[in-house]
Structure 1
Amino acid sequence: MAWTRKILRVNLTDRTTKSEPLNMEWANDYLGQRGLATKYLVSEIDPKVDPLSPENKIIWATGPLTGTMASTGGRYSVVTKGPLTGAIACSNSGGYFGAELKFAGWDMVIIEGRASSPVYLSIENDKVEIRDASHLWGKTVWETEETLKSEHQDPQVRVSCIGRTGEAGVLYAAIVNDLHRAAGRSGVGAVAGSKNLKALVVRGTLGVGNLANPKEFMKVTFEKKKILKENAVTGQGLPTYGTQVLMNVINEIGAMPTRNHKDVQFEGARKISAEAMHEPRESDGKAQLVNNQGCFGCTIACGRISKIDQTHYTVVNSPKYWGASGGLEYEAAWSLGCANGVDDIEALQYANMLCNEDGFDPISFGATIGAVMELYEMGVLTKEEIGIEAPFGSARALTFLAEQTARGEGFGKIVGLGSKRLCEKYGHPELSMSVKGQEFPAYDARGVQGMGLTYATSNRGACHLRSYTISSEVLGIPVKTDPHTTEGKPALVKAFQDATAVVDSSGLCVFTTFAWALSDIQPQLQAACEGDWSMEKLDLMGERIWNMERQFNNAAGFTRKDDDLPPRLKTEAAKVGPAKGLVSGIDKMIPEYYALRGWDSEGRPTAETVARLGL
């Protein structure tokens, strides 16, 4: 039956826990994880609620394929109203925690209220306890996981927790599991921190319940794994180089946001690329990259495990950072590096380790530093205010501010607000490279037009994983489209958004879609889940999920004006590369996108659309 059909509801104010049956009617319409958890959230909270108030709720959710033998079936999502944006937040994570939650017999955990003092939630199958976490408050993610595994006397427990940034209310604080896998964006960690919730500790021994058709499921998942293995991206590129395979590719096409999007190519990209991670260092003859790593059930293994240079200034006196740990992904290498003009790969790895250790989003952090460096070069911010000279290219400023943000000290408290609030505070809101308050990922909207529309319309603020048109516009998957034209992009973005909503709700990783179409996931769902899971149903479901999120944002106060890009991307043309002379054509694309979506001119789903989707 794929689902466990059970929800755990936890009220931290009353310190009560109870089991509830899963609403199977909703599961039939919204599947699981992102779709189903969002349905629960929007049904239970006021869209105008303060994200950091006890009235907001936060949900850990698995999908029907989480914990199964489907490739990449280890995903879970954290869904809440996000403090960085004030919009719907859904952050997706891999590792092993999601599968463990499913093995314990739960489809999702809904957290309500606020504890009067720090607590953590212990889940061992049906045995659920709210326990004191006073001794964990003030600990990093790494310290918290180590302490809890020791206290539970079980190295197999899985921990999903916040670091000091979540406690301090850094608006892009993450929730981290397995030391370096993260529900990373939109500030879900700050919501957990506002509830005095330090961690969820899970041990599950029940396995996954009876699938609808186990023999067919084994057959079809085996066939689909072969497709992943034989594909150039999922079988070769990602296992060998991880997402960092994109660094030189995106730089060469002139779509690499550099120095707070002032430029579209970074002259230091080669020094911080996947290839550089493989090269032996002069200091010790060893490469930064140790090996790749997969999450639960993953046959791709794009994760990076790296070791920092022990002679580097950041760690020369800090042996705790000398061991192998989570290495640079493309987004982090971009945001900590290109966005700030920093080409010191060891400094980037150190900052990345701090993001993992204390649980904060490297994309929002790095992009916020880009704004800080531009304000510094303009003379708006000074050395005295920041605590260090901070021009573009300064690795020392980057690592100093990463330390300050992790600890909640000095100027790090301002950095923890994110670029939107920081730039507003210093009188230059136009310098925040964000949508709805969430910072851009690693693709310039002038060089890849579809990504501009993706950012502008993303329900959780600027995001590449809601509609990864790079697949089509750069990699030619499933068909090649011209990255420099706006023509056809509204339809492309809508198709990607709807399909991704289904993938995110299934329990599978979106990286499978470099090789799989939704038609490859459909038979896996059909064999796992009872009932009809036709392509027509899944297409409609993706659209339904997208419009449900949109309705929530509209009710929260978002309007047409929030589906926009910063002036820089619309008025300052790319100076070099294949996109030279281009600006984003976002204003041309939005009306066509709204029409395709069945929305009015203000971006609200029409009554006809709402009725058609059963919302």
Structure 2
Amino acid sequence: MSWAGKILRVNLTAGTVTSEPLNMEWAKAYLGSRGLATKYLTSEIDPKVDPLSPENKIIWATGPLTGTMASTGGRYTVVTKGPLTGAIACSNSGGYWGAELKMAGWDMVIFEGKSAKPVYLYINDDVAELRDAGHLWGQSVWKTEEMLKTSLQDPLLRVSSIGKSGEVGVLYAAVVNDLHRAAGRSGVGTVMGSKNLKAIAVRGTKGVGNVRDPKAFMAAAKAAKKVLADNAVTGQGLPTYGTQVLMNVINEIGGLPTRNHRDVQFEGAKDISAEAMATPRATDGKKHLVTNQACFGCTIACGRISKIDESHFSVANKPEYWGASGGLEYEAAWALGAANGVNDLEALQFANLICNEEGMDPISFGATIGAVMELYEMGVLTKEQIGIEAPFGSAKALCELAVMTAKGEGFGKEIGLGSKRLTAKYGHPDLSMSVKGQEFPAYDGRVIQGIGLAYATSNRGACHLRGYTIASEVLGIPVKTEPSESAGKPELVKAFQDATAAFDSAGICIFTSFAWTLADVAPQVQAACGEEFTMEHLNHIGERIWNMEREFNNAAGFTKADDNLPKRLMTEAAKTGPGKGTVSKLGEMLPKYYEVRGWDTEGRPTADTKARLGL
């Protein structure tokens, strides 16, 4: 079996690190990563716990395919109760850290309690110990990684850490590994900071040598890689343009939320698109995009490495930002750009670098800036309060507020609360474009009906990665559905949500699902684990995971009322584009969704559903 069969339990209060066997019964029922870690978390904490109290726990987890030769098998997840939402938080990251943990012989690390002083966990194969991190506290993610590699004299060390934003309590702080890969959403980094845990440094030399049927696994992995290579999205579009290929596409269909969702098309979209990143600049003749990059074991390579224009105002006297570094992905480019009406590509890149460097979710940060700029234009917030002029379209404000927020300085403290708390504080809660307190990603839920329903019902708050119906509604994968139609969307959303939970829990990237179905994943999991994992079985596991997350949220105090969208999407029609005149039809989709899910009219899984799923 390709589970390592061992987990580390770290009690930060007592300063102890102990090894325990993985619960194999749970592993077979929940697979790994997202599913298995959530099972452990929900079994061990009170759903009503304060997310930032020592009683909350936080878990790093790999899946059975993590560290293997399955394409994209480098993923890991961080699971906790999230401070931004108060709901289950599960954030996924790529890069190399997850594979390294697995190769050190561990499936999962569970942290409980709170350290009296800053610490980091050092793992070198079977040896694991807590060490003093006083010298690392206050350092950025980038500096933390550099200092650990130097002090431990190991350039091959892999580090998962927080920057200043996690230390100062920004409610959407991220956990970052490999400099610019992040478990980015819901404030998992904030929980890490609240426990005085700065980093986990891992070195694994064991490999993943326990794949049950190596010959069958190699054949299944090879066949699946061919499917990715032959697909237009995973074989051509993502390697060439990255996720940023979507900027112009979504803008053209009128689904690009602009200026805090007041508009659905951005006149500056072409200036911040993938095509713009790949075009030589007028200033220096160099391209913004340097190259693409792959995570561990990935044959897609959608990552961007970019270089900022050294003459740009944001970095004019900051040579530390002149080198090539993690470039803009679509969601970040949208949140930092269109959401605020900013079409300055270099300013977006600078703000993105700050988010990477100090460990901050660019989606929640950028979307919160959108709310701030709207409040500023309404006269509710003033230059004196913010410390800077902040109208829509201000690249200068975007850059300065990114630094202030990441460091928890000035008005940045308010922005670090997220848009739900900020807009409520200033008397305009309707201006928070969020669900359950988590800000929307880059698709308009009025114009694209399915994604609106997916946002409203997502267990971790507004999210595109819990059921990416854009694949079907915009890209026609696996079948084309009409974005403006609400009929059939409850079934579509459920199917995407369940399948995604299985992909996440296997330890692979959700981008493979542009080409793969669970029929491509099943033979790989089956050969790796030596258990019977059919397509139907994996789908059943995905559904079980979704309902487990829902049960936790219900117990935490969430109700049907939280499966909602902001008033703007329900009452203010899209002004331009193919979807002009439309609002979200959530009211007619939600009851049907509950029915399809096997929940009662209040959104609670019925006894029959729980029995069928073994919950």
For residue 59 of structure 1, give the secondary structure of its aligned residue in structure 2: strand
For residue 446 of structure 2, give the secondary structure of its aligned residue in structure 1: coil
Q: Distance in 1 between matches of 2:283 and 2:15?
A: 54
Preserved contact between residue 3 and residue 209 of structure 1 (Cα < 8 Å): no
Q: Distance in 2 between matches of 1:136 and 1:566?
A: 40
Preserved contact between residue 170 and residue 406 of structure 2 (Cα < 8 Å): no
Shift of 1:537: 1.4
1:249 lines up with 2:249 in the alignment: yes
Shift of 1:408: 1.0
Name the amino acid aligned to 1:115. Answer: S
Preserved contact between residue 4 and residue 209 of structure 1 (Cα < 8 Å): no
Shift of 1:592: 0.1
1:417 lines up with 2:395 in the alignment: no
Shift of 1:209: 2.7
Q: How does 1:372-521 map to 2 (within 5 A)?
A: 372-521=372-521
Per-residue Cα deviation, 1:268-327 (whole angstroms, up to 9, x for no partner): 000000000011112211000000000000000000000000000010100000000000
Aligned residue in 2 for 1:301: 301
Q: Distance in 2 between matches of 1:438 and 1:269?
A: 24
Q: Distance in 2 between matches of 1:205 and 1:398?
A: 43
Q: Distance in 2 between matches of 1:455 and 1:3?
A: 32
Q: Distance in 1 between matches of 2:529 and 2:360?
A: 36
For residue 285 of structure 2, give the secondary structure of its aligned residue in structure 1: coil
For residue 105 of structure 1, give the secondary structure of its aligned residue in structure 2: coil
Q: How does 1:24-43 map to 2 (within 5 A)?
A: 24-43=24-43
Structure 2: stretches of 5+ with no match in the other structure: none
Q: How does 1:178-327 map to 2 (within 5 A)?
A: 178-327=178-327
1:534 lines up with 2:541 in the alignment: no
* Coordinate RMSD, CA, aligned: 0.5
Q: Distance in 2 between matches of 1:191 and 1:381?
A: 30
For residue 215 of structure 2, give the secondary structure of its aligned residue in structure 1: helix
Q: Distance in 1 between matches of 2:198 and 2:535?
A: 40
Q: Distance in 1 between matches of 2:534 and 2:230?
A: 26
For residue 389 of structure 1, give the secondary structure of its aligned residue in structure 2: coil
Q: Distance in 1 between matches of 2:205 and 2:145?
A: 20
Shift of 1:136: 0.4
Q: Distance in 2 between matches of 1:407 and 1:87?
A: 25
Q: Distance in 2 between matches of 1:473 and 1:241?
A: 21
Shift of 1:536: 2.2
Preserved contact between residue 213 and residue 528 of structure 1 (Cα < 8 Å): yes
Aligned residue in 2 for 1:136: 136
Aligned residue in 2 for 1:52: 52
Aligned residue in 1 for 2:364: 364
Q: Distance in 2 between matches of 1:150 and 1:200?
A: 15
Q: Distance in 2 between matches of 1:536 and 1:223?
A: 20
For residue 25 of structure 2, give the secondary structure of its aligned residue in structure 1: helix
Aligned residue in 2 for 1:337: 337
Q: Distance in 1 between matches of 2:150 and 2:546?
A: 42
Q: Distance in 1 between matches of 2:536 and 2:337?
A: 43
Q: Distance in 2 between matches of 1:402 and 1:66?
A: 33
1:122 lines up with 2:122 in the alignment: yes
For residue 98 of structure 2, give the secondary structure of its aligned residue in structure 1: helix
For residue 504 of structure 1, give the secondary structure of its aligned residue in structure 2: helix
Name the amino acid aligned to 1:321. Answer: Y
Q: How does 1:576-587 map to 2 (within 5 A)?
A: 576-587=576-587
Per-residue Cα deviation, 1:354-406 (whole angstroms, up to 9, x for no partner): 00000000000000000000000000000000011111000011111001011
TM-score between both structures, scaled by the size of structure 1:
1.00
Shift of 1:460: 0.2
Q: Distance in 2 between matches of 1:255 and 1:93?
A: 26
Q: Distance in 1 between matches of 2:503 and 2:536?
A: 15
Shift of 1:613: 0.6
For residue 545 of structure 2, give the secondary structure of its aligned residue in structure 1: helix
Name the amino acid aligned to 1:576. Answer: T
Preserved contact between residue 10 and residue 17 of structure 1 (Cα < 8 Å): yes
Q: Distance in 2 between matches of 1:404 and 1:370?
A: 16
Aligned residue in 1 for 2:75: 75
Q: Distance in 1 between matches of 2:266 and 2:12?
A: 48
Name the amino acid aligned to 2:178. Answer: D
Shift of 1:580: 0.3
- Aligned pair count reads 615
Name the amino acid aligned to 1:460. Answer: R
Q: Distance in 1 between matches of 2:293 and 2:334?
A: 21
Aligned residue in 2 for 1:524: 524
Per-residue Cα deviation, 1:546-583 (whole angstroms, up to 9, x for no partner): 00000000000000000000000000000100000000
Preserved contact between residue 455 and residue 463 of structure 2 (Cα < 8 Å): yes
Aligned residue in 2 for 1:152: 152
Structure 1: stretches of 5+ with no match in the other structure: none
Shift of 1:535: 1.9
Preserved contact between residue 307 and residue 325 of structure 1 (Cα < 8 Å): yes
TM-score between both structures, scaled by the size of structure 2:
1.00
For residue 370 of structure 2, give the secondary structure of its aligned residue in structure 1: helix
For residue 85 of structure 1, give the secondary structure of its aligned residue in structure 2: coil
Name the amino acid aligned to 2:536. Answer: E
Aligned residue in 1 for 2:556: 556
Aligned residue in 2 for 1:328: 328
For residue 392 of structure 2, give the secondary structure of its aligned residue in structure 1: coil
Name the amino acid aligned to 1:580. Answer: K
Q: Distance in 1 between matches of 2:503 and 2:497?
A: 10
Name the amino acid aligned to 1:520. Answer: D
